[in-house]
Structure 1
Amino acid sequence: MDAVIAFPSGLPVRGEAVAAPEAEDSPAEGRLPGPPRPGMPPEQRADMPAQSLWRFSRRRRRRFADRARSRSSFLRRFLVLGSAVLLVGLAVYEMEQVLAVAGLTPVEVLVLVLFAINFGWIALACTSGIAGYLAIVRRLGRAARTPAGPLGTRTAMVMPTYNEDPSRIFAAIEAMALGVDALGQGPAYDWFVLSDTTDPEVALAEEAAVAAARERLAGKAEIFYRRRRRNVARKAGNVADFCRRWASAYDHMLVLDADSLMAPETIVELTRRMEEDPDAGLIQTIPALVGGTTLIARIQAFATRIYGPVVGSGLAWWTQSEGNYWGHNAIIRTRAFIEAAGLPDLPGKPPLGGHILSHDFVEAALIRRAGWTVRIADDLPGSYEECPPTIIDLAIRDRRWCQGNLQHMLVVPARGLHWISRLHLMMGIGSYVASPFWLLLILAGLALALQAHFIRPEYFSDEFQLFPTWPVIDAERALRLFGLTLLVLFTPKILGVLVFLRDRAARRAVGTGRLIGSVLFEVVLSALVAPIMMLVHTGCIVSIITGRDTGWKPQRRDDGGVPIAEVLMRHRWHVLSGIALLFAAWLDSLILVAWLSPAILGLLLAVPISSATGSRRIGAFFRGIGILRTPEEAARPPILDAAFVARPAYEAAVAAKPDLAAIAADPQARAAHLALVDALPARKRGAVDAVEALAIARIGEATSLPEAISFLSREERATVIATPALLERLGALPAA
């Protein structure tokens, strides 16, 4: 093990690992009983090569061990995708007949093309929803299996975090770890918190929570912790670093998010499925949204709980072995991930080049390319996550996701990908590109109406005719097409409600009357929010195309309102767009205003809608009257209760954490802290880290420990607590 070699400059030349410093004698308390426990187990390194998107030999692809089980059905894809194509063809034909009574103008052609694109999006959701409904009905009443016996493999439970509340994270880990231990499967799982935290105060809070977790879970779970000094490649790089250094010691890793919770029965069942299927590379659960108290959080939770199962089950039914990965609440075979899922950098600079932000879709595609299956376990309940508490937080998250999904345009043509994997990538792109297409359809329709109103038509063509050609639209076909569109749009919602009503326990928890009222409320509110999100996503795409990188900001998890000044600033362009749309429609007729009223109202009321849906008080009111209630809200799952009960203990541990001054001054606290510090990567002579150099200079200028800390910036303090030599130098200063 290489030691740190200090040079006159004070910058260390780093080896592959750094030994934790031995505890010093404390004059007041005597010698410590033993060295502090390290943050991570011994490394077991593995090579995780970056995969080429443009070179791939099919001969390198592994063969399925169980070909009959792992091959997907072409018939299922033909039924779902073929039905969607038929629906689009029917709708486009009807639209063409509506517009082409007197021939198509260029504007009408544009409307027809945009209509086809937008209708295709909802048609696929409709046919997937029908398939999902039939799949769910078929398995209703089927008892969940409860196989006995200990697991024969070992799984790393991996929770990446970035400037998150440690009390939330470790309370969730304790709840899951105790649940798994109660099932007699505790030895099969080790728990890893992989921190990319850049805030030194949050980092020290994480260390305090680690100590509390190890004390509370002693003998029941192994808790490990590592914080990277530099978050290279963000979350994907965080997980990849774990894979290269530790993951090969485990058969699987179950990747969580900072807001994830999974029932212990679900964790164990996922592991058993991996053990039983030698071809399984990744199994993804469908998380339910829980924990939100604001209206926008509760409406997302309600929609995913009521309508989500039929869409998710439909997707699982026709994708089969070519499923997808959503970045968390999924179990992965470590061998498959290490060998096949190393991400390359995309050519060019951000926002479209560089590190891949939406790494999950790409990792799933690469794992499938290598000859492993990727499945969606739509039948497994007990997988949970949280959602953004306000429209503004939702927009911030979607900005990052939008950039990541647009990067997939460079991945879609990669060699060797399965065509369903390419389809997943294109659907991810389409989830954001659909917004500008919808906006263009509204504007093209508006232009069509204004053209008919203000541009004088040619009633007589150049050819001789006795009667004029009147510009008309087939009103009867237009009404029929409108009905078809509504049917296709609402079919997944209707089927979701029907499935929910067949679940007696869920129906009793919510109430049939409240369910119907909640569905109507959700439809109206979602219709008002939709045009806001349409402009948000359109703005995201414009900013990405113009070269603006999103960066990496921590996500706000806790509920709470947004200051009205920020709401006004964020939504000012949405309100102005609503005014412009209202004026343009009014120029034509009040009938057109009525047709566009959902979009107009949503934009005009963007500020009050955003404030109201982000208000905890208004959310509590609707919860009190039972609107948007879900079964998980009526009777919280045991895993949520367990995390809730455990959290105060970690909040107390975090509140009592020592600060940087206390850690630097106290040899015992310093030794405990340094035991958790990650091994420093090698540094070439002459390669000077600017932040380290500044920290050394500032510490050297100081005459006391408090003064040195006051000199350091937040970034420099984060570097100091991650660098043993700098922390020792800081601790050598006088306390006053």
Structure 2
Amino acid sequence: MTARRLLFVTLLAISFAGLSALMAVTLSPGGYSALDLFILFCFMVTLPWTIIGFWNAVIGLLIMRLTRNPVEAVCPIDHDITDRPLTSSTALLSCVRNEDTESLETNLTAMVSHLVRAGDAEHFKLFVLSDTDMDDVALNEQQMTARLQERFAGQVEIVYRRRTDNHGFKAGNVEDFCDRWGDQHDFMLVLDADSYMSTEAITGLVRRMEANPQVGILQSLVVGLPTDSAFARVFQFGMRLGMRSYTIGSAWWQGDCGPYWGHNAIIRIAPFKDHCRLPELPGKGPLSGTILSHDQVEAVLMRRAGYEVRVLPLETGSYEANPPHLLEFIRRDLRWCQGNLQYRRLLAMPDLKPVSRAQLFLAILMFLGSPAWIGFMTAAAVLGAVSDQMPYRPDTGAILFFTVLTMVFAPKLATVADVLVRKDLRRAFGGPIRVVLSVGAEILYSAMLAPIMAVAHTLFMGGLIFGKTIGWGAQARGVQRLPIKLALQKLWPQTLFGLAGLVWLTGQPIGLVWPVIPVAVGPLLASIIAVTTSTRTLGEIAIRSTLWRIPEESAPPEELLDLHLPALTKGRLPAADQPDLVQGDAKPAEA
């Protein structure tokens, strides 16, 4: 594992040095002014995550194509678990706060029902852990729990607990469970309100934990549920393509210092309870107090305690619902932003593994890249406006631009390459023509979305300096049309940024600036994008178009049918076009 990490660091360092040098050469005409150096600095801040994504994708693609079982290649634990009877006790933790109880009840009923049918229910206990601060919602939760208790009486024990003070937010919710009931169970499977996991996925995680006592956290690969939200449909299609190669590549070098994403993961309770309590950050202001992004901190503390943290890159059986509209997507990202920036206070924690410390640093840099990108784009535009001559070399500039662009989209392109050469995956994603069209549209969509998010991150981080905070409120789940007035109120800074960018673009030669047109158009149309992609009508059109199809829509797993998802009843492919296989881990013989 050390050799893998050294190789990855070497690739990262060489790429960083090469791209930085290429940018320096590009800015060299006329010498280096303060503005040139600022542009170079901002560019260098944005590079690490771009380079990491690229090499993760390259490594992931090589593993997917050259090994028969990519999962075992990057998660080297005992996977021979199929026929092993369960011997442990696992608590299923449904962590909720002001949620829609109807959809929550549907998901929990389906999960527990299938555990009962599989004959494994005696090894599980369901806890509905509520942090709800609205009495009417709490009443609905209690009534829902009572119905579940009546339905599964004598089969699965179900417990409801509501905290009146949600100190510590979700991490505090789980910590309270550990203090009350942790000694009664071996493992806990942490679920969000929108989580759904198949029986095979749940019992597979449990059996792997039983067979591998050195593993403290085993994170499943979480993918999006089929959705009738136009915004989420395109977004999660891109995520689905990007995550497989990226996660396999990152698991190859992260190894036993893997990620924990806060849900759809199984945790060994005893070491978690003893070693993973989160510190309260001293001081005042939004970056003190309770740590919002608790998951990665808990992962590094588990690793510090001597237990492995692994990711299991299986694409089937572990699901979540993505934000249904742009404003909720931004709000979720800003909460992560605030939480990740708190990590700066944790970088000096004693006895952390080097990889763990690097993960915390990179989590901070992930969001610092947004103001760096805004600064880079703004300074580059100013440089062009104030220079009497060409301020950069167009030859190296073009090479640099297309190199970075390729690296940015490498995770998606790598998975697309794997999909197109495998018959089962081509059919599962709707066929090669649909895949190519969907990928092209999604890349344009994400190129427009990226500057919208960068503006939001930058303004929010500026607000943190003056005490602005995001907190932990209820999350929007279902499809709901955004009012245009609300979209304009929230997204007017993006509109101004896009307008300024468009004005600048109109003064430049089209042959020079055409690749960056989405950078201006996306923010300029932010409000329109937010409203239109939030409507149920556009969502239904997207479903019926059969674009951005995921395998679960082509051949829905039986368990997902119990969730009554609209995306599984509309826009179905003809029977002749449906795949015989959704997706396997091992490469089929014909590949």
**1:100 counterpart SS class:** coil
C-alpha contact 2:45 2:368 (8 A) present in aligned 1? no
Where does residue 734 of structure 1 map in the other structure? none
**2:286 counterpart SS class:** coil
**C-alpha displacement of 1:136:** 2.6
**C-alpha displacement of 1:643:** 3.2
Please give the TM-score of this superposition, normalised by the length of structure 2: 0.90
Q: 1:633 aligns with which of 549, 553, 557?
A: 553
Where does residue 724 of structure 1 map in the other structure? none
1:294-693 alignment, distance < 5 Å: 294-379=229-314, 381-453=316-388, 473-509=392-428, 510-586=430-506, 594=514, 596-644=516-564
C-alpha contact 1:176 1:263 (8 A) present in aligned 2? yes
**C-alpha displacement of 1:586:** 4.5
- 1:258 maps onto 2:199 in alignment: no
Amino acid at match of 1:539: L
**What is the rounded CA distance, in whole Å, between the counterparts of 1:124 and 1:236 in structure 2?**
28
**What is the rounded CA distance, in whole Å, between the counterparts of 2:551 and 2:199 in structure 1?**
19
**C-alpha displacement of 1:349:** 2.2
**C-alpha displacement of 1:218:** 2.3
- Sequence identity percentage: 35
**1:326 counterpart SS class:** coil
Residues 533-571 of structure 1 show CA distances to partners (whole Å, capped at 9, x for unaligned) of 111111121122221121221001001110111111111
- 1:113 maps onto 2:41 in alignment: yes
**1:348 counterpart SS class:** coil
**Which is higher, the Rg of structure 1 or of structure 2?**
1
Gaps of at least 5 residues in structure 1 are 1-72, 458-470, 646-736
Please give the TM-score of this superposition, normalised by the length of structure 1: 0.73
Residues 422, 203 of structure 1: alpha-carbon distance in 2 compared, 3 angstrom cutoff: same
Greater mean deviation of Cα atoms: 77-86 or 438-447: 77-86
1:125-140 alignment, distance < 5 Å: 125-140=53-68
C-alpha contact 1:261 1:639 (8 A) present in aligned 2? no
User: Alpha carbon RMSD of aligned pairs, Å?
Assistant: 2.0
C-alpha contact 2:241 2:411 (8 A) present in aligned 1? no
Where does residue 589 of structure 2 map in the other structure? none
Where does residue 10 of structure 2 map in the other structure? 82
**2:108 counterpart SS class:** helix
**C-alpha displacement of 1:592:** 6.1
C-alpha contact 2:482 2:531 (8 A) present in aligned 1? yes
Amino acid at match of 1:107: L
**What is the rounded CA distance, in whole Å, between the counterparts of 2:218 and 2:184 in structure 1?**
20
**What is the rounded CA distance, in whole Å, between the counterparts of 2:19 and 2:333 in structure 1?**
30
**What is the rounded CA distance, in whole Å, between the counterparts of 1:232 and 1:122 in structure 2?**
36
**1:643 counterpart SS class:** coil
**1:324 counterpart SS class:** coil
**What is the rounded CA distance, in whole Å, between the counterparts of 2:157 and 2:295 in structure 1?**
27
**What is the rounded CA distance, in whole Å, between the counterparts of 2:172 and 2:486 in structure 1?**
33
**What is the rounded CA distance, in whole Å, between the counterparts of 2:409 and 2:165 in structure 1?**
47
- 1:273 maps onto 2:184 in alignment: no
Where does residue 93 of structure 1 map in the other structure? 21
Residues 501, 164 of structure 1: alpha-carbon distance in 2 compared, 3 angstrom cutoff: same
**What is the rounded CA distance, in whole Å, between the counterparts of 1:314 and 1:409 in structure 2?**
26
**What is the rounded CA distance, in whole Å, between the counterparts of 1:381 and 1:595 in structure 2?**
36
**1:569 counterpart SS class:** helix
Where does residue 587 of structure 2 map in the other structure? none
**C-alpha displacement of 1:299:** 1.4
Residues 324, 276 of structure 1: alpha-carbon distance in 2 compared, 3 angstrom cutoff: same
Residues 118, 138 of structure 1: alpha-carbon distance in 2 compared, 3 angstrom cutoff: same
**C-alpha displacement of 1:209:** 1.0
Where does residue 136 of structure 2 map in the other structure? 201
C-alpha contact 2:89 2:187 (8 A) present in aligned 1? yes
**1:282 counterpart SS class:** strand
**C-alpha displacement of 1:389:** 0.6
Where does residue 189 of structure 1 map in the other structure? 124
C-alpha contact 1:177 1:220 (8 A) present in aligned 2? no
**C-alpha displacement of 1:172:** 1.5
Amino acid at match of 1:481: L
**C-alpha displacement of 1:190:** 0.7
Residues 17-66 of structure 1 show CA distances to partners (whole Å, capped at 9, x for unaligned) of xxxxxxxxxxxxxxxxxxxxxxxxxxxxxxxxxxxxxxxxxxxxxxxxxx
**1:644 counterpart SS class:** coil
**What is the rounded CA distance, in whole Å, between the counterparts of 1:231 and 1:409 in structure 2?**
24
C-alpha contact 1:174 1:217 (8 A) present in aligned 2? no
**What is the rounded CA distance, in whole Å, between the counterparts of 1:338 and 1:126 in structure 2?**
36
Greater mean deviation of Cα atoms: 519-528 or 293-302: 293-302
Residues 140-192 of structure 1 show CA distances to partners (whole Å, capped at 9, x for unaligned) of 46898562242111111111100111222222222112222333221111111
**What is the rounded CA distance, in whole Å, between the counterparts of 2:515 and 2:543 in structure 1?**
32
**What is the rounded CA distance, in whole Å, between the counterparts of 1:367 and 1:146 in structure 2?**
24
**What is the rounded CA distance, in whole Å, between the counterparts of 2:214 and 2:257 in structure 1?**
12
**What is the rounded CA distance, in whole Å, between the counterparts of 1:563 and 1:644 in structure 2?**
27
**C-alpha displacement of 1:490:** 2.6
- 1:282 maps onto 2:201 in alignment: no
